[in-house]
Amino acid sequence: MSRFTPVEQRIDAWAHRRLDGIPRRGPRSTLVEFMVFVLKQAWACIFGAAILTVIIATKLFYPDDAILARNDFLVIAAVVIQVVMVATRLETFRELRVIILFHLVGTGMELFKTSVGSWLYEGDGILQIGGVPLYSGFMYAAIGSYMVRVYRLFDLRFDRYPRRFVTAILAALIYLNFFAHHYVPDARYLLMAATAVIFGRCVMSFRIFRHRLRMPLLAIFVGVAVFIWIAENIGTWADAWQYPGQEDGWQVVSLAKLGSWFLLMIISVVLVAWVYPPRPSDPVAPDSGGASNDRG
């Protein structure tokens, strides 16, 4: 069975008709692999990019005297984006399950974190719970959307992946610490050390176009955490939410947040593994081609 959605299958077939004749080695091949990598990453980010685009556009252009509050408009826009993604078969119902789970997990964290002053939301609106606009959950859902899409698009495989029940326990402890550290000593550094021990031997391989590359999974966690931190800076600049100290003017989000996003990656991986159990690498040469339904 193809790992692509019907829309992605058509895009993949179109790309192969134009690129299959390119030599497998040399500068031209390297350039094509890089371009495909960038395009696949952009495609994986489409849900988050759409929401971030709406947030920026409303920051710049949304009228202050509009009948519909900006926060409510963002909620409606996020729902429309999600519906369009599923209706146009850019996202599968199987993926939607884990995205909804990200939404629920994220909203629960938002409700608690805003209540203790970790960050805040400004503006009026009726589509909110406990002062938290409902679009906040879609920002976590965007992370889930990216991860399940990148899993498919790059045909991710994992060697020496830890036992899933161990990763589930670690993820539960990380999620608990996001709440508990307000009342007891913060265990994030112990949890980071545990993450390094549990995932330290795991290597992820991914197919770009015709070549498969390998990287330590911990390095992937760090890279995605940096990517989310950059998006977080854009979101706070656009007044999607604010951290303490940003009320009187935007400033760069603390680098300490990278640690939080690194730990959030563990929760994210466990949630995605619920839908896509980690698969080991195939016992074939790294650059060998696959069947026509496993092209990338």
Mean pLDDT of the chain: 87
User: Could you tell me the pLDDT band of residue 289, with boundaries at 50, 70 and 90?
Assistant: very low
User: Could you tell me the pLDDT band of residue 172, with boundaries at 50, 70 and 90?
Assistant: very high
For 62-108, the pLDDT digits (tens) are 998 899 999 999 999 999 999 998 888 888 887 888 888 888 888 88
User: CA 53 to CA 21: how far, in whole Å?
Assistant: 36
Task: Name the packing angle between helices 93-115 and 70-87 (round to 10°).
Answer: 160
Say what the pLDDT of residue 192 is. Answer: 95
For 5-41, the pLDDT digits (tens) are 777 888 888 887 877 778 878 888 888 888 889 999 9
What sign does the CA torsion over 98, 100, 103, 109 have? Answer: negative
More reliable by pLDDT, 190 or 293 = 190
Is 287 a residue whose pLDDT tops 70?
Answer: no
User: Could you tell me the pLDDT band of residue 294, with boundaries at 50, 70 and 90?
Assistant: very low
Q: Are 135 and 75 in contact (CB under 8 A)?
A: yes
Say what the pLDDT of residue 282 is. Answer: 73
Say what the pLDDT of residue 2 is. Answer: 53
**What amino acid occupies position 10?**
R
Share of the chain above pLDDT 90, in %: 42
Which of 44-53, 137-146, 240-249 shows the lowest per-residue confidence on average (mean pLDDT)?
Answer: 240-249
Q: What's this model's pTM, rounded to 2 decimal places?
A: 0.83
Say what the pLDDT of residue 1 is. Answer: 38
